[in-house]
Amino acid sequence: MFVIGKLVTRQYRLHIRHLINKNTRLNSALSVKLKTANYTSYIRVPWALTLLKRTLHTVNRELDAMGLSPLDPSSYSRPEQAVVKHVDLKLNVDFDNRQLSGEALLTVNVLDSIEELILDSSNLTIESIESEDGKVLNYKLDDPVPNYGSKLTIPLPEPATVDQKIKLRIKYKTSPTATALQWLEPKQTSGKKYPYMFSQCQPIHARSILPCQDSPAVKFTYNAEVTAPEPFTVLMSAIKENGSAKATFRQPVPIPSYLLAIAVGVLESRELGPRTHVWSEKEEIERSAWEFADTEKYLQAAERLCGPYQWTQYDLLVLPPSFPYGGMENPCLTFVTPTLLAGDRSQADVIVHEIMHSWTGNLVTNTNFEHFWLNEGFTVFLERKVGASLISDKEEAHRSRDFSSLLGLQELTETIKLDLGEQNPLTKLVVNLTGVHPDDAFSTVPYEKGSLFLRYLEDLLGGSAVFDDFLRAYLNKFQRQSLDTDQFKAYLLDYFKDNDALKKVDWTTWLHKAGMPPVIPDYDTSMTKAVTALLAKVNDPNNSLDYNDVRIFTPQQVINFLQALIDQDPLPVDRLRTLGDAYNVATSKNSEITYRWLRLCIRSRDESKIDEALQFVNSQGRMKYVRPVYRDLYAWEAVREKAIENFLKNEPNMMHVSAYTLRKDLHLKE
Ligand SMILES: CC/C=C\C/C=C\C[C@@H](O)/C=C/C=C/C=C\[C@@H](O)CCCC(=O)O
Ligand SMILES: [Zn+2]
């Protein structure tokens, strides 16, 4: 009985649930068998367990033949068989050869009888693999599959059994074209004197830095020793213990592979609070310290909602402009784009967002990227709650939260109705990533549809008063674990089992149907009213425009206004120029305003703005800005070639993910 109890582990239960979710891809007889299974009986009846294991084995073979991991369609690894629990990394940073080299010592917990361990790798040169006692092991590195890398199979010297711990030492080198790493020339930095390197592992690029189970279903702790030449500073997504020639790091909280991060540059830091430093090149350090001075205040507000911050340190690193995202929630060290340095703290919401990932995403993690909304929808939802909690006037806080939600809805509507199309399967909350690279599925949908779903549930189930308690219970229950949407749903249904309102939730439509959300919350529209009125004024050519129209607008209202103009038919170019001059948008330092303004100019076919738009996409690499501007330029036939030419010239300065997605946006071959 003891053995049986052990065998039916949580991993198995997850595995079974996942297989059921995937049943459309399976032989129907097998999926029926799985669907009708009574798991309790498997725990009690030994023969049933054997049957289950045999069934799973057959199913696994079927999925294998399709090149899929049963738990994660984006990974070759087999976390239901064995999981990496800890990694000891020793790396040397070689700027001349654009290479990391060294070793990864993996500590693996065996969950089933196995004869081999399967890992993900991409473009790595494996030099040797040894067992703990120094025995050299054979391995097989399959031919690379574009964008997924190579399956690395390591036959074990002898079969391993349940609960066994094994250690494997893998000596390897990364490639200069590792998709997770960007190696910058000195001219791409502010100091112009030294090179720079940084990583972006989310979603599945960690495999290009180390051989690993590159699936968020697996969480591991890590220690690292990294050697870099003087005068470089090495930073990682961990607690920095020693900063000399050999930097050492410790990450005692288990993380998924996509949260492994490294940056090496000539950096300075400033203390912002008891657990916070900001890091950047010296040219940005003062501006960065000013822009992010309120970080500790945000951390405390986040803790009031979610409980103690578990990662000890919360540092920020302001990267060079080619960093492709607004922010990346690397534990202990959020990476941010320098486009946040607006000089007015107007993009603080991005910092609050990254802080909230310390709970949703980093502690409670989507089991694979089909359930990305559990990371991002929750984070946006919490970001808005915490943002509002910083406003002392209750009504104003409510208005402000709803206004941000309306801005989010505006972006969601553009994505679903104009960009992706309402029938597009990528507009579902839970997506099918079999054969779809997560970087191709990325959009605002998991962020905004996910957050809107949670807001709908909150309103339905009794408001913040009850929902905040649920959130804390959920975080507590799933912390340091990975989960899928069914587990979230089961937990919510159980938590609110006495609440009849739950019966109203149309789960299938919310989770599995494409298009706009089935219900839009009854948001407070007082802050959008002025924007709607201004839109009507601008659309009537008889009205003259002057600065007083927008004098009392917050930056967010200006953004809301510009976004509304983007979503309607283009204004005549003369009218748009008049508007730009009258409302001072053309000279704004806020990149959220600038990118929308340039989109409007392109859409109104203002030829005098083409060079400025190209200069904007060349000066920074935040995909949120660069992709829509390029897509708008592409849609303007007369400038399409010029836009493509500009892209090709600048492609060598871009990070992999930017070049990869822009090639698709511009309909160029990979
Ligand atoms: C349904 C979506 C399915 C899969 C997508 C999974 C991963 C997407 C991958 O492309 C990586 C995303 C990394 C995001 C990092 C930060 C963002 O939150 C930034 C948002 C945009 C910005 O502010 O610049
Ligand atoms: Zn996020």
Closest Cα to atom 13 of ligand 1: 202
Cβ neighbour number for residue 157 with a 10 Å cutoff: 14
354 classed as catalytic:
yes
Q: Closest by alpha carbon to 663, among 646, 650, 647, 641? A: 647
By most ligand atoms within 8 Å of CB, the mutation choice from 334, 372, 427 for ligand 1 is 372
- Is 155 annotated to bind a ligand? Reply is no
pLDDT value at position 243? 73
Q: Which of 447, 456, 583, 625 is catalytic?
A: 447
- Is 623 annotated to bind a ligand? Reply is yes
pLDDT value at position 245? 75
By most ligand atoms within 8 Å of CB, the mutation choice from 350, 362, 369, 430 for ligand 1 is 369
C-alpha to C-alpha distance for 587 and 598, rounded to whole angstroms: 11
491 classed as catalytic:
no
pLDDT value at position 244? 72
Cβ neighbour number for residue 136 with a 10 Å cutoff: 10
| Ligand 1 contact via 328 beta carbon (within 6 Å) | yes
Q: Distance from the CA of 336 to the center of ligand 1, in angstroms?
A: 13
Q: Output the six-digit token pair for 468.
A: 């905040």
| Ligand 1 contact via 372 beta carbon (within 6 Å) | yes
| Ligand 1 contact via 202 beta carbon (within 6 Å) | yes
- Is 66 annotated to bind a ligand? Reply is no
Closest Cα to atom 22 of ligand 1: 326
Q: Are 26 and 59 in contact (CB under 8 A)?
A: yes
Q: Are 334 and 317 in contact (CB under 8 A)?
A: yes
C-alpha to C-alpha distance for 557 and 509, rounded to whole angstroms: 32
Q: Which of 354, 448, 458, 592 is catalytic?
A: 354
pLDDT value at position 25? 41
Q: Distance from the CA of 203 to the center of ligand 1, in angstroms?
A: 8
* Helix and strand counts by DSSP (H, E) for the chain: 23, 21
Coil, helix or strand at residue 201: coil
Amino acid symbol at 569: D
pLDDT value at position 54? 57
Q: Are 416 and 516 in contact (CB under 8 A)?
A: yes
- Is 624 annotated to bind a ligand? Reply is yes
Relative to the alpha carbon of 202, which ligand is closest?
A: 1
Q: Are 593 and 562 in contact (CB under 8 A)?
A: yes
- Is 200 annotated to bind a ligand? Reply is yes
By most ligand atoms within 8 Å of CB, the mutation choice from 147, 200, 202 for ligand 1 is 202
Which mean pLDDT values do the consecutive 10-residue runs of the chain (670 residues) have?
34 52 41 39 44 58 62 96 98 98 98 97 98 96 96 96 97 98 98 98 98 98 97 97 88 98 98 98 98 98 98 98 98 98 94 98 98 98 98 97 97 97 98 96 98 98 98 98 98 98 98 98 96 98 97 94 97 97 93 97 98 98 98 98 98 97 94
Q: Closest by alpha carbon to 454, among 368, 367, 524, 517? A: 517
Question: β-pairing, 276-280 with 315-318?
Answer: parallel
DSSP for 300-314 reads HHHHHHH----SS--
Q: Is the ipTM of this complex over 0.95?
A: yes
Q: Are 301 and 311 in contact (CB under 8 A)?
A: no
Q: Closest by alpha carbon to 660, among 613, 618, 623? A: 623
Q: Distance from the CA of 375 to the center of ligand 2, in angstroms?
A: 7
Cβ neighbour number for residue 594 with a 10 Å cutoff: 21
